[in-house]
Chains A and B, each alone.
Chain A
Amino acid sequence: MAAPIAIHLEFGGGAELLFGSVKEHHVTLPNQSEPWDMKQLLVWIRGNMLKERPELFVQGDTVRPGILVLINDADWELMGELEYELQDKDNVVFISTLHGG
C-alpha cells in the first residue's frame, strides 16, 4: 500500500531536449500496492513524459549508457540502482554525459 508519491525530477546535459526542453518536473506517481522502484519509474517516464526518441533515454530496463542518475544528490549505484525504492519528496536527477565539453 503506497500513497501517491511526489517526486522532483531534473534533467540536464542535453537530456532535457527529450522532455520539451524543460529541465525540472514535479510529478506525482499514482497510488499502487507495491512501493515504487526506479525500474518502474523509468517505465512510467517512458510512457508518460518522453516526447520523442525513447531509445535515447531508456535502453531495455535501464537508462541508456552515458546517462548519470543521482538520487538525492548521491550516485544511484550506491543506492541500489534499479532496485532502489522511491520515497516521498525524493529528488532524481538525470544528467546526460554524452555531449562533451
Chain B
Amino acid sequence: MCQVDEEYNGQLEHRVTPRVSKKCVKCKENTAVLIIRAGDAFCRGCFKEYFIHKFRAMLGKNRVIFPGEKVLLAVSGGPASSSMLSQVQEGLSRDAPKKLRFVPGIIYIDEGGASGQSMEERERAVAQLESVFRATNYHYHIVHLEQVLSLPSSVLEAGSSATEKPQTGSSYKAAVDQFIQTKKNQHPDFSVENAQSHLSSLSMQKVENGVTSPITPEHTQALQRLFASVRTLTAKEDLLYTLRQHLILHTARTQGYTKVMMGDSCSRLAIKLLSNISLGRGASLATDTGFSDPRYGDVVIVRPMRDYSSKEIAYYNRMFDIPSVFIPGLDTKAQDKASIQHLTESFVTKLQTDFPSTVSTIYRTSEKLHTACPPQNTNTQPFAKCLLCVCALDTKLEEFSAYQATLISEQLSQRRGPGPGFTRGTEAAPGLPPVSSASQGQCCSSGGGQHQGCMTGEGGCCSSAKEPETVDLKSLLCYSCRLTIKDMTAEDALPQYILSEAERRKRRSQMREEISEFLLDEEEDEAIPRVNGSL
C-alpha cells in the first residue's frame, strides 16, 4: 500500500471526471473551478467567501487578539504569508461592525546570507517585497539575518505576560464593546484624528521602515561561518528557524508589538509536527503547532493560517492576484533525503495525493494537543527553559527516563581513543560506567557528545581547571537543541548573545548551588533548577 509506484487502477477510474462540468456544492449554480479537501467543488465566488470567512472565524474563535493591539505580521514573501497579509488588509478594511481591530506591522527577514544568495539577488527580492509592503500602508521592518549577531542577550529571557487578563469570553467581549464605544465618542473628530494618525504614521515610516543598519560583508561572512560550521542540513534548518524566531521576537519587543502572526499553513504545520517528532521536540508539540504559542511570555505567536491547505492558498493567490515573491531557501532543489524536514515534506505531500485526508487528519490530531497553562508565578527560574528555543527543559535526569537510556547507550557506543584532550593517557574501555569517566576531567563527564566538543575546542581543556563552554551550552538546552548544537563543529561561531547568556546562566546556577544550604526550604520546584544546574 505504501509503495511508490503502486497503481490504483480501480480507484482512479472513478476519480477521473467526465466532460460534464461539476456544479459548485455550495451555491449549486455556478460551475466549479476548484476541488478542495476530499471532493468539494467550489465556484470562484463561493471559494473567495469561504477563504475570507475562515480567516476571520479562526481569529474570532480563539480570542487572543484584543482590539487596538499591535500585531506584527511575519511575512517571508511566500504564498501563505502573502495570503495572510492580504487577509489582514481585507479584514481591516471592512466597514462591518465585525471588522478586525488591531494595528498591524510587517516584518521581513532577509535570509540570503545563510542560504548563499548574492547581494544583488537579495536586494532585488527586498525591493520587490518593499513595493508590496508600501502598497499596504502599514509600518514595515526589513531585518537582515546578519543582525542576529548583534542581538542583546535579553532576547533569550522569557518576559512576563504584559497583562494578567483572564482569557474568558466575557472580558474579550467587554474589551471589544469598550473599544467600539470610544470610537463612537470620537466620531465627530474621527476623520481628522484618523488623518492625523495616518500622517504621523507616514512620517514615522520614513524613520522606521527600511533597513535598520547597513550590512557589511564581515557580518555576512560571520553568518556564513556559523552556518558552515553546522554539518547537517537538518541542524542548519533548525538553527535558522531558531535565529529567525529570535530576530522576530526582538523586533516585536523593541517596537512594542504584543502579538506576532506567522503564516504557517495546515500542510506546513502537519509537516512540522511530524518532523518535530523526529527531531526530538515531542515535548513542545503543542506550542510549536498550536494556534497560539505563549512561550515567550510577553509576545504571543499566533498562527491564523493553520486551517488552510497549501492548495487553497496557492489557488487563492492565483485567482485574486495576491503578490508573492519566491525566494530560494536552504533546501531549494535539495535531494529528497537531504534533511529530516525535507524528507517529511516529500513523504506527506506524496501521501496526500493518494489519500487526500492525510493533512487534515494530522491537523486534527494536532488540534487535540493543548498547551499546558504556564505556571502562575511568572518569575519562573530561567533555568527551567531551554536556552535556544525557550521551551521547557525536558532533560531533567530522572532515574529511569528514556533520556537517560539514550545517554548511556551513547557512552557505550563511543570509542574513546587518545587525542589532544586526553592527556591522562588512559584509553577508556567502551563499557565504562559514567562514574569513573568523571575522573578523566570535568569536561568529559555526562555524555559522549562532549567528546567531540573537547577535541575540536580549546586544546588543553581537559587539563585546565576552568570548565569549557561546551558543557555549559549542553546543560542549558532541551534535547533537540542539543542535537542541533552537537552537529556544529565550532560552537564559538554562535552569536555572542547566546554564548554570553549561557555563561550568565551557568554562573547563576553555580551561585545557587553555593548558597543552596542557606536558602530556606521552599516548595519543591526549587529543587528542579538545582538538578539542572549541577549537570
Contact = CB atoms under 8 A, between A and B. Distances in A.
B265 A65 contact: no
Interface in A85-100: 93, 95, 97-100
A78 B268 contact: no
Interface string B322-342: 001010110011000000000
12 contacts: A65-B352, A70-B315, A74-B33, A75-B315, A81-B15, A99-B326, A100-B263, A100-B310, A101-B77, A101-B82, A101-B265, A101-B268
Nearest 8 A/B pairs, CB to CB: A101-B80, A101-B78, A97-B310, A66-B349, A100-B268, A65-B353, A101-B81, A74-B33
Contacts of A66: 310, 346, 349
A81 B333 contact: no
B345 interface: yes
Contacts of A93: 318
A75 B16 contact: no
A73 B33 CA distance: 7
A14 B326 contact: yes
Contacts of A80: 16-19
Nearest to A21: B326
Interface in A1-58: 12-14, 16-17, 53, 56
Interface residues of A, number: 28
Contact of A75 (B34, B79, B310, B349): B34
B416 interface: no
Contacts of B511: none
Interface string B295-317: 00000000001000011011100
Nearest to A18: B333
A54 B328 CA distance: 18
A52 to B, nearest CB: 8
B314 A97 contact: yes
A101 B333 contact: no
Contacts of B326: 12-14, 16-17, 99
Nearest to B351: A65
A91 to B, nearest CB: 11
A95 B318 contact: yes
A81 B12 CA distance: 11
Nearest to A63: B353
A101 B41 contact: no
Nearest to A74: B33
Given A83-B16, A99-B329, A101-B265, A78 B33 contact: yes
Interface in B501-521: none
B264 interface: yes
A101 B332 contact: no
B315 A68 contact: yes
Given A14-B326, A14-B328, A101 B79 contact: yes
Interface centre among B19, B313, B314 (most CB of A within 10 A): B314
B501 to A, nearest CB: 30
B22 interface: yes
B267 to A, nearest CB: 7
A97 B15 CA distance: 22
Given A60-B5, A70-B318, A99 B78 contact: yes
